[in-house]
Structure 1
Amino acid sequence: MGAQVVRAPRQRRARIGVLVAAALLLTACQSAPEPDEAPSEAPVRPSADAATSAVSFAPLRGTPAEAAVLAHPSLAVKIDNHEEARPQIALNRTDIVFEELVEGGLTRYVAIWHSDVPDEVGPVRSIRPMDPDIASPFGGIIAYSGGQEQFVEMMMATPLVNIVFDFDETGLFYRADERPGPHDVILRSAEAVARNASLAPPPVQFAYGTADPLAAPALAAAPTSRVDLVFSDGRFPAWEWDATTSGWLRSQEGAPDLEASGERVHATNVVTLRVTIDWSYGEVPKTVLIGSGEAWVSAAGRTAHGTWTKGAAESPITLTADDGSPLRLAPGTTWVELVPSEGSATFTP
């Protein structure tokens, strides 16, 4: 089909066209710890002078980074997770990945790149009804291969710049000969970001603490060696704690999950949210993200229980511990597992 870069209307794009300095200063103002917080629990976020410093903090990782490297929008991409789509490209270079249930009991990803944008990512697949609620808080760009007209219209109605394979005539996508269709659509991701470099960087999504953010006794975090999740009979990923690398190693359906580089897929944090499913769209499930539910944060070999809340499509997810304090993540990459209430989450000591 023909191809063009499809953008959201100008008035919507303007909402995210703010200066980097303003975004960082606003983040700093919103992120200041309460006076009675212990220093070890203070979130790692940009300071008030981050806009003028040579080193800032990555808003989607909480890790130090050169300010100039962060001065561009984030890129959200709908990534295939069919068996024939594996291994995916550059999952280990993401900042945040959301795993969601789709039809047939399969899962797909909404993967977000900002701190480290690779040349290519994929395979890219079509949009689903929950994706506007997932991607809207990040602003910037969303890339996908197409989808049902009603779902595409829902995404086009967000403030994000939409880049769609079905409409692209500019060469941002191509089909990889070595991959079977339809699991063969690859996005030239660095080029997509470069073409939209004037868009604002994403705002902070989560609060970050120390490398062991769940150590406070009040959080009652349990030692965790393994996280087992069930989305459906056909999708049951797992994460194993690896003290050597201080990270979680991913498996799918009992086998190590590898990306195209040959590396095991890994993350610093695994955030598990129990969600309900809206079946209003027939066989296409919609993960309900506007509301609240049960949450677990797994970091540094521990898991703490709490709740998640999200007030609107453009609002980030807020994580709160059972004692009422913020559930903070360790600085690094994060996978958010949107586990249906009919599924399960098991945390093994």
Structure 2
Amino acid sequence: MRQGRGGRGFAGRALSAVVLSSVALLSACAQAPMPTPTPSYSSTYLTPEPTALAPLTGETVPVGSLTAPSLAAKVDNHPDARPQFGLERTDLVFEELVEGGLTRYVAVWHSDVPAEIGPIRSIRPMDPDIISPLGGIVAYSGGQQRFVAMMRDTNVYNAIHGQADTADLMFRVDGRPGPHDVLVRAPELIARHLDLAAPAQQFSFAPDVASSSAVREGTPTESMALVFGSQSKPGWTWDAARGVWARSQSGAADLDGAGVPYSAVNVVIIRVPVTVSQSIPKTELIGSGEAWVSTGGMTIHATWSKGSRGEAIRLVDDTGTVIRLAPGNSWIELVPLAGSVAFTAPPPPPAPAPTESAAP
């Protein structure tokens, strides 16, 4: 019996020792400081930079980054003037018919201004209607006095080759025959007129290509062929790899100075009446007519209208809904009613190859 009791006493003492050891361990743990976990993320909140829309392209830009005026220029499109300087960096380009069946451009820079632009040529009677909604500056090489007077009678600053205030900003470049050789130092010209306002938004824009009116509601288009006159037959072909329309003239790629075809995110084609006075064609832009807008390999039918010189061109679809372009640059083709517009649809996808049935 004594031995039995002695065995139970040892077990009890062992259990007590274990309990005391556990209590001591727990007490030590309670007294030791717990490590502070390191967060795997930053607790600092970064305020997003405020943004705005570039008024001529619809692209998102930092607020206050585009306060300077736009620069429009009458740019030559004679074969001796190609490739032009800075045309690939425009926000907008308007193509218009001039004498001899040729065309010229009203090219507009605002969000991306190159060091030099041109070659510039003389003003024409439709240019005040094109440029007035933009305000800002227009650069050209002169023109008939009646047309220069029309352009001066607008809200746009006229920078003319030969004026005293442009003598150091407009110059003739070597290697080009005159009169296709007058260039403009664009940033310096703009810097002298920062008192002028930035341009107003000219078109409505979707937030992205997929949301644009043409992509959402248009029909697939592979290419467009335009006829302005006997010497001007531009075209556009959808370049899916670049995500742009690539330009051609008379069936050949229209290349910039780097050998890359001029391109546009949006091509806006509007049919316009053209009147002729003393052999000078004038595109009549106050009115309305048929139009098409092509974006993302798709084209939507539209109606254009412009109520006055100072109003921008308005585009609506066949239901009267305002058309929204994709963010990016745009070319506006002012095709005469006497000319023509043709669209080519992409070829249908190849039919699937027939499958052979298994032998019985």
TM range (shorter): 0.7 to 0.9
Give the 3 Å change call, closer, same or farther, for CA 53–138 of structure 1 in structure 2: farther
- CA drift of 1:234 comes to 1.2
Contact 2:214 2:293 in 1 (8 A): no
Structure 2 unpaired stretches of 5+: 1-47, 346-360
For residue 150 of structure 1, give the secondary structure of its aligned residue in structure 2: helix
1:176 pairs with 2:173: yes
- Correspondence for 1:339: 335
For 2:323, the aligned partner's letter is L
Task: Point out the more displaced range, 54-63 or 281-290.
Answer: 54-63
Task: Point out the more displaced range, 53-62 or 329-338.
Answer: 53-62
- Correspondence for 2:224: 227
- Correspondence for 2:78: 82
- CA drift of 1:198 comes to 2.0
Please give the alpha-carbon distance, in whole angstroms, between the structure 2 residues aligned to 1:215 and 1:225. 14
1:267 pairs with 2:240: no
Contact 2:169 2:189 in 1 (8 A): yes
- Correspondence for 1:214: 213
The superposition leaves residues 131-170 of structure 1 with CA deviations (integer Å, 9 ceiling, x where unpaired) of 0000000000011000000000000000101000032453
Please give the alpha-carbon distance, in whole angstroms, between the structure 1 residues aligned to 2:310 and 2:242. 34
The superposition leaves residues 276-308 of structure 1 with CA deviations (integer Å, 9 ceiling, x where unpaired) of 0011x2211000000001000000100000100
For residue 239 of structure 1, give the secondary structure of its aligned residue in structure 2: strand
Give the 3 Å change call, closer, same or farther, for CA 66–288 of structure 1 in structure 2: same
Superposed counterparts of 1:183-222, under 5 Å: 183-209=180-206, 210-212=208-210, 213-214=212-213, 219=217, 221-222=218-219
- Correspondence for 1:327: 323
1:277 pairs with 2:274: yes
Please give the alpha-carbon distance, in whole angstroms, between the structure 1 residues aligned to 2:137 and 2:63. 20
1:165 pairs with 2:164: no
1:133 pairs with 2:129: yes
Please give the alpha-carbon distance, in whole angstroms, between the structure 2 residues aligned to 1:283 and 1:108. 16
Please give the alpha-carbon distance, in whole angstroms, between the structure 1 residues aligned to 2:129 and 2:202. 13
1:117 pairs with 2:116: no
Please give the alpha-carbon distance, in whole angstroms, between the structure 1 residues aligned to 2:136 and 2:101. 30
- Correspondence for 1:143: 139
Number of residue pairs the alignment of both structures matches: 295
Please give the alpha-carbon distance, in whole angstroms, between the structure 2 residues aligned to 1:249 and 1:275. 23
For 1:225, the aligned partner's letter is E
* Larger RCO (CA within 8 A; separation ≥ 6): 1
- CA drift of 1:215 comes to 5.6
- CA drift of 1:245 comes to 1.0
For residue 115 of structure 1, give the secondary structure of its aligned residue in structure 2: coil
The superposition leaves residues 83-119 of structure 1 with CA deviations (integer Å, 9 ceiling, x where unpaired) of 0000001111100000000001000000000000111
Please give the alpha-carbon distance, in whole angstroms, between the structure 2 residues aligned to 1:283 and 1:216. 41
For residue 347 of structure 1, give the secondary structure of its aligned residue in structure 2: strand
- Correspondence for 1:30: none
For 2:114, the aligned partner's letter is P
- CA drift of 1:69 comes to 2.7
- Correspondence for 1:55: 51
Please give the alpha-carbon distance, in whole angstroms, between the structure 2 residues aligned to 1:151 and 1:216. 40
- CA drift of 1:53 comes to 5.8
The superposition leaves residues 246-302 of structure 1 with CA deviations (integer Å, 9 ceiling, x where unpaired) of 1000001111101123321001000000000011x2211000000001000000100
The superposition leaves residues 214-251 of structure 1 with CA deviations (integer Å, 9 ceiling, x where unpaired) of 3676x4x1100101100012110000001111100000
Bigger Rg over Cα: 2
Give the 3 Å change call, closer, same or farther, for CA 189–223 of structure 1 in structure 2: same
Please give the alpha-carbon distance, in whole angstroms, between the structure 1 residues aligned to 2:181 and 2:73. 14
Please give the alpha-carbon distance, in whole angstroms, between the structure 2 residues aligned to 1:147 and 1:168. 17
Please give the alpha-carbon distance, in whole angstroms, between the structure 2 residues aligned to 1:67 and 1:182. 40
1:66 pairs with 2:62: yes
For 2:71, the aligned partner's letter is L
The superposition leaves residues 171-203 of structure 1 with CA deviations (integer Å, 9 ceiling, x where unpaired) of 110000111110000000111111111211100
- Correspondence for 2:292: 296
For residue 136 of structure 1, give the secondary structure of its aligned residue in structure 2: helix
Give the 3 Å change call, closer, same or farther, for CA 162–225 of structure 1 in structure 2: same
Aligned sequence identity (%): 53
- CA RMSD after TM alignment: 1.4
Contact 2:214 2:296 in 1 (8 A): no
- CA drift of 1:54 comes to 3.7
- CA drift of 1:333 comes to 0.2
- Correspondence for 1:40: none
Please give the alpha-carbon distance, in whole angstroms, between the structure 1 residues aligned to 2:199 and 2:101. 31
- Correspondence for 1:104: 100
